[in-house]
Structure formats: C-alpha cells, structure tokens
Chain A
Amino acid sequence: MSQEAKEKILEYMKSQKKTKLYFNDLCKAVPDLKMREAKKIINQMVEEGTIKYWSSGSTTMYMLPGVDDVGKEEDSMK
C-alpha cells in the first residue's frame, strides 16, 4: 500500500505545473489515506530522497529534487 501511495504522490507531483506543493496538495494524490498516514509516507519519501522539503522559514512545501535553481545549487554541492 505504501509503495503504491508513494508512486501516486510522485505521479501527482510530476503532473503539476507548480514546482512546489503544499502538504494538503500531496494528500489529494492519496485521498483514501488519513492525513497522519499520508504524512508518514511523505516523510519516508523525503528520507529516501525521492522528494524534498522546501521551506521559506514560515511555510514548508515539497518539491522534486533539482527542479529549480536552489535545488540545483544544493545538489551540485554533493
């Protein structure tokens, strides 16, 4: 179930025009899951490196790795 949910979330992110999405947006990809279950899966995806946190300091969003200039800059340091 969790692998299937991860794939749905990734597909959803790739299908969006926006590069950064809110937690609530990602939950739309897995409407059958409760928010707390979705959160666990999303955090696993962050730990696995398939998605990344983006934070303004006040708000946290999610993005695919290396999709904008900051992401590329960070990835280039590794």
Chain B
Amino acid sequence: MALKHKTPMLDELEKGPWPSFVTDIKRVAERKPMAEDLLGLLEMSYEHKEGHWKHGGIVGVFGYGGGVIGRYCDRPDLFPNVAHFHTMRVNQPASKFYTTEVLRKLCDIWEEKGSGLTNMHGSTGDIILLGTTTDQLEPIFYELTHDLGMDLGGSGSNMRTPSCCVGKARCEWSCIDTQDITYDITMRYQDELHRPMFPYKFKFKTSGCPNDCVAAIARADCSIIGTWRDKIRIDQEAVRAYVGGELVPNGGAHGTEKRALDIQKEVIDLCPTKCMEWDGKNLKIWDEDCTRCMHCINVMPRALRPGLDTGATILVGAKAPILEGAQLGSVVIPFIKMEPPYEEFHEFVEKMWDWWMEEGKNRERLGETIQRLGMKAFLEATELQPDPRMVNTPRYNPYIFYDPAEVPGGWSHDPKAYRERHHA
C-alpha cells in the first residue's frame, strides 16, 4: 500500500541487516493514519534538522500527576493525525512477568484507542504506549485499571516506577526478594508515584546480587543491591572440575565447549582485592577482603555461590548527566536485612525524601543535592552513622574535619596560645 508521505531519508534506515524501527512504523501505517503521519513528520524533522514536537503538555488522567507525557506536533496543518501524540507509561509488573493474555488485551486496547505503536520497555522499565489523543486518555486508563488490573507508571517530578531484576524467580544468585521489595515500594508510595512533590525525578531500582542486572548503581537515586555478609560457599570438588576441564566456565556464556579453566589467570589474578589463592588443589578465599565483585562466582557458578546470611546494600545518588555529570551511587547502608515489613528501610526513605524536598533545588537529583551540601549533611538528616564502607576513594582527601560537639569529651582550641607557639 502506498503511504501518504514520501520518506526517502527514513527509507535509508531500512537498509542493512539490522531491524528497523522505520519498517515497524510502516507496517502499522498501513492500518493506522497516526503512524502514517508520524513517518511524514519524522521525515520533515530529518529534512529541517529540527524537531517538530512542542515541549511538554498538561495532559493527565484525573487525580494523577504522572504517567502521561503530553506531546503535540507543531505542524498540525500538515500532519493532523499526530496533532496530539501523547505517551502513556504503564507500570510493568515486577521483573516483567506477563501472561500472553494480558499482553494481547493490552495490544487490543492500544490498537483501538492509540497509535498501535509500543515500546516494550522504556529505560524506566515501564511499558511505553506511544501516541494517543487527549480524549482517549481516560478511557484507556479505565480499561487498564478495570480490565487488566494495571496502573500508570511515574513521570515528571514523581517517584518513578520502581524496577527490579528477575530475582529469585529465575536466578540462583539473588540474595533478596527483588519482586516483593518492588511491590512493597510501589504500593506503599502510591502517592509519591502518582502525584508530583519532589524537586525532580526519583528512581528506585533493585538488583538481587552485585552483578546488578538492572544497573541500579548507575541509574537509581536509591539502589537496593543484594549482598551477603558471611562467606562465599565453595564446593572444592567443583572447583577442581573446572580446572580439570570437566565443567564449562562462565555457565557457557562465553562458549559452550568444555575446556580446562586457567584458574590463576582467569579468576585469581582478576580478583580486584586479591583475596583468593589456589594451591593446585583447594581454593582459599579471605572473605573479609572480598568486595562482592561476583567475578569468581560468575566464572565458576557450579563451584561458588553467595553466602547464606543475605541482605542488601543501599546506595544513593546515581544519575545520568543533567545539572552535573553522571554519578554512580554511594553506599549509605552497607548491610540491611531487607525483609518484610521493611520498616527500617521505609524510615530511611522517608527521612531522605524529607531532606531532599527541603534542600533540593529545582531539577536537582538527590545525588546532586548530596554533592552540593555534602554527604555529612545527608547522613545527619537520615540519622545514619558514618562508616568506612561509605568512603568512595580512601585516602583521596586527608583533611577530615571533626566537630568538637560530636566527639566524646570534645576539646577546646585557644588560637592566641597556638600562635604564641607557632609564630610564622
């Protein structure tokens, strides 16, 4: 079927062996005028080297201040079917487990009331439904909530839809129940998820182990990363089997053929804290020096497993560049059991939010507020005790300042007497 708009530049993006979003949109354009006009608008943007979407909007569903992102075309005269092209963010189930029945119903709703174009999933983790008109927002929301039991996700200055890795559902390394934690955060903080109140976005992401499959340490304002505080479990027989070439290293991730593992080169020498030793028969680990990098466990999953005294490390402040550059999260709670009903965690979260709401500037992520006011101020506000494990770069800055009021016994300083002893 011939499409309404000529798209010579977009057509170039269909060439080559990789999948093309242009081909996908063209397929939908055969039945949806909205997708057809979207192609035309995009071609014009490529031609002008300028975007043709207006910035933001005031759409939403009643009672919610997030979940809908208003998009309006600035040339509705040429492309009337995308005059409104709003995005809806739908809160994905924890770890993104769906039934095919739900997915079919979701697609049916979007085929009827939206553009038919989806993004499964956005980088937030949400299901992204791309392109609908203002009058369809409430009917779509009604069907999502009443027929599918689904809700809108977060957008704008809200808590964003919490996301997590696959967790204990399918991963033997998960130290915490990531899905339960995500569900708990989602349900407890419904108001923060749907009604904006923060200086900027706020993200929770939960990973079951330090492999951090959802990249919480790099993306979340508050990262919950599973860990253990006892010893790595070692099956010495299995270690010898890897070395003897009876087992495939890396769980077959780098090739499924059996080969002898060079344990010295591939494991011991790559340990970041050099806390391992191999004497030819047995593997020894000094667990007190282990930083939970997971490398040895990843290479020899049949031989090594996380310990049994499991919990999580809480980090705060990760973000991509906006006001300041990209930041990884900083450890603020080295170990927390992270078991229901998560009261200790909730108390921490609420103190953290109260401080950020009071102190944070507009469009300033939590990590930037901490950077501006200092980790000391954050720890005071959240009533956490400083701990050596919070130090990002040991010995980077030798100037440690103590407040006499905070040191038992305190001290007094006589500057005049000091100068008498130190003339220069």
Any chain A CB within 8 A of the CB of B134? Answer: yes
Contact assessment for B135 and A77 in the assembled complex, using a CB-CB cutoff below 8 Å: yes
- CA–CA, A55 to B194, complex, Å? 13
Interface segment, B104-112, B172-180, B284-292, B356-364?
B356-364
B195 touches A74 (CB 8 A): no
In the complex, chain B residues whose CB is within 8 Å of the CB of A57: 56, 69, 87, 155-156
A74 proximity list for chain B (CB < 8 A): 57-59, 134
Q: How far in angstroms is the closest Cβ of chain A from B192? A: 9
Distance from A63 Cβ to chain B, minimum over Cβ atoms (Å): 7
Known: A57-B155, A70-B72. A23 touches B197 (CB 8 A): yes
Select the stretch in B60-68, B247-255, B415-423 that faces chain A.
Answer: B60-68
The answer to whether A55 and B72 touch across the interface, beta carbons within 8 angstroms, is no
Within 8 A of B (CB), among A14-65: 22-25, 35-36, 39, 43, 46-47, 52-60, 63
Verify if A4 is at the interface (C-beta below 8 Å from B).
no
Contact B196 A54 (CB under 8 A): no
Query: Which B residue sits closest to A20, measured CB to CB?
Result: B56
The reply to whether A55 and B357 contact each other, CB–CB distance below 8 Å, is no
Chain A residue, CB-CB nearest to B362: A22
B360 to chain A, nearest CB (A): 8
Q: Which residues of the partner chain A approach B363 to less than 8 Å between Cβ atoms?
A: 59
Q: Which residue of chain B has the shortest Cβ distance to A65 in the bound complex?
A: B58
Residue of A nearest to B358 (CB): A35
Give the interface size class of chain A.
20 to 34
Decide: A54 and B197 in contact? CB cutoff 8 A: no
Q: In the complex the two chains form, is A55's CB within 8 Å of B197's CB?
A: no
**In the bound complex, what is the Cα–Cα distance between A2 and B73 (angstroms)?**
39
Q: Mark B95-115, 1 if CB is under 8 A from A, else 0.
A: 000000000000000000000
Q: Which of A35, A56, A60 contacts B357 (CB 8 A)?
A: A35
The interface size bin for chain B is 35 or more
Q: Which residues of B contact A23 (CB under 8 A)?
A: 157, 196-199
Q: Are B57 and A55 in contact (CB under 8 A)?
A: yes
CB neighbours of A52 from chain B (8 A): 58
Interface of B is mostly: loop
The complex places the Cα of A8 from the Cα of B131 at a distance, in Å, of 37
Assess the B60–A53 pair: CB atoms within 8 A: yes
CB contacts between A and B, total, < 8 Å? 87
Q: Which residue of A lies closest to B364 (CB)?
A: A24
Determine the chain B residues whose CB is within 8 A of the CB of A58 once the complex forms.
Answer: 155-156, 200-201
Chain A residues, Cβ within 8 Å of B56: 54-57, 70
Q: Which residues of A contact B361 (CB under 8 A)?
A: 24
CB-defined contacts of A25 to chain B, threshold 8 Å: 362
Q: Which residues in A have their C-beta under 8 angstroms from that of B351?
A: none
Residue of B nearest to A77 (CB): B134
Given contacts A22-B362, A43-B65, A47-B63, contact A60 B58 (CB under 8 A): no
| Highest count of chain B CB atoms <10 Å: which of A56, A59, A73 | A59
Give min CB distance, B153 to chain A, whole Å: 12
Q: Kindly supply a per-residue 1/0 record for chain B positions 342-363, scoring 1 wherever the CB is within 8 Å of any chain A CB and 0 otherwise.
A: 0000000000001001101111
**In whole angstroms, how far apart are the Cα atoms of A63 and B56 in the complex?**
13
- Residue B54, interface by CB 8 Å: yes
* CB-based nearest A residue for B361: A24
A55 and B155 contacting across the interface, CB-CB below 8 Å: yes
> Knowing A22-B362, A55-B156, A59-B363 touch, does A73 contact B135 (C-beta < 8 A)?
no
A74 to B84, CA, bound (A): 10
For A52, A56, A57, the residue with the greatest tally of chain B CB atoms inside 10 Å of its CB is A57
A73 and chain B: residue at smallest CB distance:
B72
Asked whether, in the complex, the Cβ of B62 is within 8 Å of the Cβ of A47, the reply is yes
Interface residues of B in 367-417 (CB under 8 A from A): none
Sample of 14 more A-B contacts, CB < 8 Å, known A55-B69, A59-B200: A24-B362, A43-B65, A53-B65, A54-B58, A55-B60, A55-B68, A55-B155, A56-B55, A57-B156, A58-B201, A59-B362, A70-B56, A70-B72, A71-B58
Residue numbers of A with Cβ under 8 A of B are: 22-25, 35-36, 39, 43, 46-47, 52-60, 63, 70-71, 73-74, 77
30 contacts between A and B (CB under 8 A): A24-B361, A35-B197, A35-B357, A36-B354, A47-B62, A47-B63, A53-B156, A54-B56, A54-B57, A55-B58, A55-B60, A55-B65, A55-B66, A55-B70, A55-B156, A56-B55, A56-B69, A56-B156, A57-B56, A57-B155, A58-B200, A70-B54, A70-B70, A70-B72, A71-B58, A73-B72, A74-B57, A74-B59, A77-B134, A77-B135
